[in-house]
Chains A and B, each alone.
Chain A
Amino acid sequence: MSERSTAVRLRKPRSLAGDAWRDLRRKPIFWISLALVLLVTAMAAVPGLFTSNDPTDCALSRQHAAPSGGAVFGYDFQGCDTYARAVYGARASLLVGALSALLTGAIALVVGMLAGYFGGWVDAVLSRVIDIVLGIPLLLAAIVLLKRVAADSATVRLAAVIFVLAVLGWTTTARVVRSSVISARQQDYVAAARMLGAGNGRIMWRHILPNALAPAVVVLTIALGTFIAAEATLSFLGIGLREPTISWGIDINSGRVHMRESATPLVVPSTFLALTVLAFIMLGDAIRDAFDPKLR
């Protein structure tokens, strides 16, 4: 018997989360995407830390002007500071992404829990609803829904975009929750809780929910990235957020129109958007890989 096998026997058994953490710690992609996520979050919370220029201070006399005085990437077609606009654009993106993800999570948890826990006709009906919503192309439905919002108020438009993305985007998460609820329902500890007299509500809330939460959070991290991309796409099309709200989608569209004169107003918000979306998707991807024992 070698020393090694003794060591293995003596080692304290690790939980799934502990295993996943050990796995994650060694992945550079995890650290890079985590750093990017934190950076963008800081930008959204305190944009003043990253630039001292006002993104709404625009003057046509500075149209496509070269970098100067804190405007490290120069000025755009309207003579606004390209970099300051990109920094201030983080807020709308993250707000939409995070709030739609939260709303999505809430809908998905309720639907997935009901379908998975009760089964039978409840499951049959809810699963068909999921099938139908999943069959609706996101962009087309969002166009039809958002066309109805005529209001120009920034808050109303923000709420509308969040609502539309959540209403169309909850299905995948609901399926994940449903399948983890189904597998948790058959566990011994659920049977034990039931024998001890716990009601349906208590079993769902105290015993099944904690197990369904982790996979849902991972899916939602990835969904957050796709919601940010969707918001930018809708704003790019002119039906999402609108001026005076600062959004990467709006800036990419105006930068695209004038790219022959100057490309930086297109490239800078594009890079910010792509890196943010990538960071969330890679973070979710890395966590999912770490939590999925089949891949090890």
Chain B
Amino acid sequence: MFRFIVRRLLQMIVAFFGTTLIVYALMFAGQGDPIQALAGERPVTEAQRAYLTEKYHLDATGVGGFFYRYFDYLSNLLRGDLGESLTGRSIGEILAAAWPVTIKLALIAIAVAVIFGVTAGVLAGIRRASIFDNATLLLTLLVLGIPTIVLAPLAQYLLGVKWQLFPPTAGADPDFYALLLPGIVLGSLSLATALRLTRTSVAENLRADYVRTARSKGLPRRRVVSVHVLRNSLIPVITFLGVELGNLMSGAIITEGVFNIPGVGFNLFRGIRTEDGPLVVGIVSVLVVVYLVANLVVDILYAVLDPRIRYE
């Protein structure tokens, strides 16, 4: 187990340097005027130019200069200093205010996926090829096929504006009810995937030898399903949901933008819209790190749950 964790940590460090180097290189390398590249098509004032030049050490030149600046960016990132957006606000402060909202939203989405996805997946797996099974398969295919940019505005229009069942937008400091509809929209994709995963693995495990043994011992069906089958079937689902939690935090760009939820994705959405380069790069860097850490935690959890993984 210890060796597995060490190896996995080393892998993550390589991936961390790889991805941050890519993000950083894309930010600055090979561009005539890196400051203009950050600002996009907006005009840059002298003060902003001086700030950015100092912040990113743009006066140092050559390959050495590039790596000097890269490690500078990296150490700033690790210390949590993300600099300022073009509007002069501290990116760290923007993120500190946005995280709680995004985490709340992601947790609602995961809860929706677990409660509905896993339950329906177990039922569909037990009654394979039944009407219920076929109906859920078709429904999940529909959900998987409809992009968020269609689902979010349509849900907002139908449920929020037309039938007024939910508040159409969340606004500052949203409560649970205001986050419910966006949470369901955000979670619907994970719900569909979780349902399909659970269904496949339940159906597969039902045919396993140990299930036959349990049945022939005379255990009631309920116990066989809920103890023997479920425990083994949920391993891939837990892995998926863990990775998905990392995904949801970065994937909430559209949902948060459409429903006006002041989370991390919303700030990224606004940063893109207003061509605010430092804000976009800062948020993307942090999200990449979150994503990598989520993957790491899930892999270790996976190894704890399933001993076979450790000895690959």
Contacts and interface: CB of A to CB of B under 8 A. Distances in A.
Interface residues of A, number: 40
A281 interface: yes
Interface string B84-104: 000000000000000000000
Nearest to B19: A136
A273 B147 contact: yes
A83 B146 CA distance: 20
B64 interface: no
A252 B150 contact: yes
B292 interface: yes
B26 A144 contact: yes
Chain B interface size range: 35 or more
Contacts of B41: 150
Contacts, number: 113
A40 to B, nearest CB: 14
Nearest to B253: A139
Interface in B241-299: 247, 250-251, 253-254, 257-258, 268-269, 272-273, 277, 280-281, 284, 287-288, 291-292, 295
B40 A140 contact: no
A256 B153 contact: yes
A236 B151 CA distance: 13
A76 to B, nearest CB: 14
Contact of A132 (B18, B144, B146, B258): B18
Contact of A148 (B14, B31, B148, B268): B31
A236 B149 contact: yes
B145 A252 contact: no
Interface string B3-43: 00000000000110011001100110001000001001100
A135 B19 contact: yes
A270 interface: yes
A156 interface: no
B157 A259 contact: yes
Interface of B: 14-15, 18-19, 22-23, 26-27, 31, 37, 40-41, 141-142, 144-150, 153-154, 156-157, 161-162, 247, 250-251, 253-254, 257-258, 268-269, 272-273, 277, 280-281, 284, 287-288, 291-292, 295
14 contacts: A132-B15, A135-B15, A135-B291, A144-B281, A148-B31, A232-B147, A237-B269, A239-B272, A253-B149, A256-B156, A259-B153, A259-B157, A266-B157, A281-B144
